[in-house]
Chains A and B, each alone.
Chain A
Amino acid sequence: MSFNINEYYTRLSQGDVLLAYKGSITSELINEVLEAVEEKLEKVNESGKTRKKLYNVLVESLQNLYHHIEVTHEGIEEDLDPKFAVLVVERDNDQYKVITGNFIQSQKIQFLKEKIDKINSMTKDELKDMYKFILNHQKISAKGGGGLGLVDIARKTGKSITYEFYPYNDTYSFFNLTIEV
């Protein structure tokens, strides 16, 4: 049985969900998501510290999607909006989870896995050094901060980033990323 996007989305949306979205990731959408989440956190009187961390993580993960997902996906039969991705923000006991899902070319899996595994294996100080190194040595591109996003997320949350790759077809896999805040 191959990966089914609707089943996946339904499964994700079962927890204590603050926000669930599937569709195009545009600059306007990012504004709307940030506004909506900020409003909800204010309502429940979430501490400033957690609010800020969650906000930061949301910005980085949404902009990662914005900069890196492909506009169209060849050979995917489902009727997907351009720049398609899934975003779910949920409360899980006393923490929050930001979950993103998007199609990626399966040939990029290895690179991503190695990158996330490396980040997960690093201590707080090592992450700080890596962040500063990339900040100071890597050229910024129109695509963003040159790979700083995940490092920044790991630094700010102090937790491991969880990922899954679900095979989809010959070219694509579905990449699920879970960040705890």
Chain B
Amino acid sequence: MEALVIEGTQKTPSVDFDPKKGELEIKGRSIPENSIEFYKPLVDWLEEYSDSTASKTTVNVHLEYFNTSSSKCILDVFKKLESIHKSSNEVLINWYYEEDDEDMLEAGEDYESIIRVPFKMIEIVD
């Protein structure tokens, strides 16, 4: 299966999903007016990936900002990862947040409390 690579824009994050290595990265800003349009290809890709996962899947989420409309779509992405994890696959979500950005740390903890996948909170120090 093909990698999913999307370049970032002013309102949408860059995406780099590598199915062979099992490394998935979402990075940047996620503040589009229509989040469903942006996130649907990601969820569809994960659906396909769930049939042929790498031995370990590591997800790096490194968001500077996201809007509430994206927050639901991000949950949908995590729910797909949860079902991959449920089928006895190793999955880890690395949630990056910048130093002192308590809001972003809390956002990560919100997801951690909803989704049954191991999370690791990683503070980025300048």
Give A contacts to B, CB under 8 Å: 27, 30-31, 35, 48-49, 52-53, 55-56, 59-60, 63, 66-67, 128, 131-132, 135-136, 140, 142, 144-146, 148-149, 151-152, 156
Asked if B122 is at the interface of the complex by the 8 Å CB criterion, the answer is no
| Bound complex: CA A135 to CA B36 (Å) | 14
Tell whether B34 is near chain A: CB-to-CB under 8 Å.
yes
Which of B31, B72, B75, B113 is the one whose CB lies under 8 Å from A59? B31
Q: Which chain B residues numbered 60 to 76 have a C-beta less than 8 Å away from chain A?
A: 65, 67-69, 71-73, 75
Question: DSSP class of A's interface residues: helix, strand, loop or mixed?
Answer: helix
Size of B's binding interface in residues, CB under 8 A: 23
- Selected A-B contacts with CB under 8 Å, 10 pairs: A31-B10, A31-B11, A53-B103, A56-B67, A59-B65, A128-B106, A128-B110, A140-B36, A140-B73, A148-B68
Chain A residue nearest in CB terms to B109 = A128
Residues on the B chain within 8 Å of A59, using CB: 31, 65, 67
Q: Given contacts A59-B65, A63-B67, is CB(A48)–CB(B110) below 8 Å?
A: no
Contact partner of B100 (CB less than 8 A), chosen from A31, A49, A152, is A49
Contact with A along B61-97 (1 / 0, CB 8 A): 0000101110111010000000000000000000000
Least distance between B69 CB and chain A CB atoms (Å):
4
Inter-subunit contact B33/A66 (CB<8 Å): yes
User: Closest approach, in angstroms, between the C-beta of A103 and any C-beta of chain B?
Assistant: 20
Q: Tally of A-B residue pairs with Cβ under 8 A?
A: 67
Q: Among residues 13 to 72 in chain B, which have CB atoms less than 8 Å away from a CB atom of chain A?
A: 31, 33-36, 65, 67-69, 71-72
Interface residue? B123 (CB, 8 A): no
Which of A48, A66, A132, A144 lies in contact with B68, CB distance below 8 A?
A144
Residue of A nearest to B70 (CB): A145
B74 (CB) vs chain A CBs: closest residue: A135
> Closest approach, in angstroms, between the C-beta of B57 and any C-beta of chain A?
22
Q: Which of A49, A56, A140, A149: most chain B CB closer than 10 A?
A: A140
What residue of chain A has the Cβ atom nearest to residue B75's Cβ? A135
Shortest A105–chain B CB gap in Å is 22
- Interchain CB contact (< 8 A) of A146 among B72, B113, B114: B72
Cα A127 to Cα B114 in complex, Å, equals 16
Residues on A with C-beta less than 8 A from B33 are 27, 30, 63, 66-67, 144
> In the complex, A135→B109 CA distance in Å?
13
Query: Contact between A142 and B34 (Cβ–Cβ < 8 Å)?
Result: yes
